[in-house]
């Protein structure tokens, strides 16, 4: 449930998608091969793919226009973030950036895998991640300066 919720940010939809994931897992259980990995990893990928399919259907994934100047961002988020502050800040990001951050950092997909799953170029995946990190840093800076 938490994996799907990271993508949708909608508890009711996450519950529906979790049920869909369970059905897919059950129907494809014969395809699970323990010699290739753990059941948890396999089932998590099914949950992620179910969430991504839902987001694709919304048709607004990856449609935002962002200025080219953001491509220069190369910095990391300050180490002072607590886990709850980081989650709270990520929640405030646009959906497209949350998806890329989740896939890259939480699900450990590389840019090639992300590009294949989302149907985008690898360079787009890299630039979207850089933009997401820049927005995350900006939101974190605003959070610290406004004292919220």
> DSSP 3-state helix, strand, coil percentages of the chain (rounded to 5)?
75, 0, 25
Place of tokens 């909608």: 10
Identify whether the C-beta of residue 4 lies closer than 8 Å to the C-beta of residue 18.
yes
Same structural domain, 55 and 73: no
Count: domains in the chain? 2
Percent of the chain with pLDDT over 90: 32
Same structural domain, 42 and 69: no
* More confident position, 86 or 41: 41
Same structural domain, 125 and 86: yes
**Domain boundary at 12, 36, 59, which?**
59
Same structural domain, 81 and 122: yes
CATH number of residue 22's parent domain: 1.10.1740.10
Same structural domain, 72 and 145: yes
**pLDDT tens digits, 113-130:** 999 888 889 999 999 999
Distance between CA atoms of 3 and 20, rounded to whole angstroms? 14
pLDDT of residue 144: 64
Same structural domain, 43 and 74: no
SS3 for 33-60 is CHHHCCHHHHHHHHHHHHHHHHHHHCCC
Range of the domain at 31: 1-59
**Domain boundary at 43, 59, 75, which?**
59
Q: Which of 91, 78, 72, 79 is nearest to 130 (CA)?
A: 72
**Domain boundary at 59, 76, 95, which?**
59
- Triad 106, 28, 23: Cα angle to 5°: 75
pTM greater than 0.85: no
* More confident position, 34 or 73: 34
Query: In sequence order, what DSSP letters do the residues of 89-105 get, joined into one string?
Result: HHHTS-HHHHHHHIIII
């Amino acid at each position: 449930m938490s994996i799907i919720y990271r993508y949708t940010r909608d508890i009711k939809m996450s519950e529906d998608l979790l049920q869909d994931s369970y059905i897919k897992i059950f129907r494809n259980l014969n395809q699970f091969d323990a010699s290739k990995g753990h059941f948890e990893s396999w089932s998590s990928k099914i949950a992620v793919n179910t969430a991504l399919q839902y987001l694709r259907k919304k048709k607004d994934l990856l449609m935002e226009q962002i200025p080219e100047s953001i491509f220069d961002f190369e910095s990391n988020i300050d180490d002072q973030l607590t886990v709850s502050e980081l989650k709270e800040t990520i929640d405030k990001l646009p959906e497209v950036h949350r998806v890329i951050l989740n896939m890259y950092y939480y699900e450990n997909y590389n840019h090639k895998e992300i590009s294949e799953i989302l149907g985008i170029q690898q360079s787009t995946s890299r630039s979207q991640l850089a933009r997401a990190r820049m927005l995350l840093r900006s939101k974190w800076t605003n959070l610290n300066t406004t004292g919220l």
